[in-house]
Structure 1
Amino acid sequence: MSGNEKKELPWWQKYTLTLNEASEYFGIGYKKLKLFVQEHSDEDFVLWNGNRALIKREQFEKYMDSQMNVI
């Protein structure tokens, strides 16, 4: 590996995910996830890097588990 190459972690090992990664990982459409993050911008699972939202993967999983109602 040369000095310029960056080792990429698999999504399931990352602490935060971009909206694109989170969309694929959780099976949620990008636009729907972006709107959801805007509506829940103060939740613990959202990390803001300037105006860029990142999803804290494990915290979002816990949030989704606690909020989902299955019939």
Structure 2
Amino acid sequence: MKEVPIWEKSNLTLEEAAAYSGIGINKLRKLSDSEQCKFVLWIGTKRLIKRRLLDEFTEKMYSL
């Protein structure tokens, strides 16, 4: 089975998103708990991070 590189995936797990962005898992969890969070995708209780929207979000932020 071929593994897809993180930068080519559209949705990331919390662990992948933390490795990709440099933001800690707990901070990502806290940010994505809000219902207004645009970069989270819920599949039942599984939380996935939309990579492109996370990139856009971090580009606009001065600090987290």
TM-score by length of 2: 0.84
Aligned length: 63
Q: Runs in 1 of length 4+ with deviation above 3 angstroms?
A: none
Matched, 1:55 2:49: yes
The alpha carbon displacement at 1:37 in A equals 1.1
Q: What's the C-alpha RMSD, in Å, of the aligned pairs?
A: 1.5
- Alignment correspondent of 1:20: 15
Post-superposition Cα deviations, 1:13-48, rounded to whole Å, max 9, x if no partner, equal 00000000001111111112112211x344221111
Structure 1: gaps of 5 or more residues: 1-5
Structure 2: gaps of 5 or more residues: none
Percent identity of paired positions between Structure 1 and Structure 2: 41
Q: Distance in 1 between matches of 2:11 and 2:32?
A: 14
- Alignment correspondent of 1:3: none
Q: Secondary structure at the match of 1:54?
A: strand
Q: Which has the larger radius of gyration?
A: 1
Q: Distance in 2 between matches of 1:24 and 1:59?
A: 16
Tell me which amino acid in the other structure corresponds to 1:60.
L
